[in-house]
């Protein structure tokens, strides 16, 4: 869910049916990757993961009724690549008439693919290819080509405000030399974007 609590398109995943084991249900391996359409590298604009449970009938159909759900704000996770496992008490969905104390809990493991840091990069990280200085091999010729590396930006202005009071921007960099124009990719939902892109 984005900062305004809306479902993010193409950021949903359904597990396979769980098998009962004594008093618990265990899901088969159900790993999923999120962050395909939403920039999860911005610590100032991390969304919320909503996990909901639904009954599965013998006909193979999943009911729209919600057995319970949990909402996990990603900014409460540790910003490391260590596997983080937590149990969460389920709360009723909007279609449920059950009391919150009767819904049980769910155990979830999550990990970041890379460490999230406030400045968008590690100070001891190796030099990115965009930062390498190229030698054209013709030192006697007059310079006639300009290579520009767009690395990162910090503390940008909020252009997209949310209902929660937070906000973000979707920045990109435009470059113009004479009549020649270039632009970087757009970094969605980021006030501290890192591009590491080189243009010529």
Compute the distance between CA of residue 102 and CA of residue 87 in angstroms, rounded to an integer. Answer: 15
Answering whether pTM is above 0.85, one says no
Pairing of strands 84-89, 68-73: unpaired
Is the confidence at residue 54, as pLDDT, over 50?
A: yes
* Residue given tokens 């049916």 in the structure block: 17
Q: Would you tell me which CATH number, out of the four given (3.40.50.10470, 2.40.50.140, 2.60.40.150, 3.40.30.10), belongs to the domain 129-199?
A: 2.60.40.150
Residue ranges covered by each domain of the chain:
19-110, 129-199
pLDDT digits (tens, 9 = 90+) for 14-29: 887 777 776 677 776 7
Contacts of residue 68, defined as CB under 8 A and 6 or more positions apart, other chains included, come to: 52, 53, 90, 91, 92, 93, 96, 98, 103, 104, 106
pLDDT for position 31: 79
Kindly tell me the sign of the dihedral angle through the C-alpha atoms of 9, 114, 185, 155.
Answer: positive
């Amino acid at each position: 869910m984005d900062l305004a609590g809306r479902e993010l398109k193409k950021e949903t995943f359904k597990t396979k049916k769980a098998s009962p084991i004594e008093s618990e249900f265990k899901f088969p391996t159900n790993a999923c990757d999120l962050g395909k359409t939403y920039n999860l590298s911005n610590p100032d604009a991390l969304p919320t993961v909503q996990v909901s449970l639904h009954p599965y009938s013998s006909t193979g159909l999943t009911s729209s009724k919600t057995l319970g759900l949990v909402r996990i704000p990603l900014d409460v996770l540790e910003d490391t690549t260590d596997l983080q496992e937590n149990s969460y008490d389920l709360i009723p969905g909007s279609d449920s008439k059950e009391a919150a104390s009767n819904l049980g809990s769910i155990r979830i493991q999550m990990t970041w693919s890379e460490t999230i840091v406030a400045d968008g990069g590690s100070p001891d990280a190796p030099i990115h290819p965009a930062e390498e200085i190229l030698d054209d091999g013709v030192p006697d010729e007059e310079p006639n080509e300009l290579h520009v590396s767009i690395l990162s930006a910090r503390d940008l202005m909020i252009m997209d405000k949310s209902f929660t009071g937070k906000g973000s921007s979707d920045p990109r960099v435009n470059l113009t030399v004479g009549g020649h124009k270039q632009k970087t990719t757009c970094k969605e939902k980021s006030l501290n974007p890192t591009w590491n892109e080189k243009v010529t």
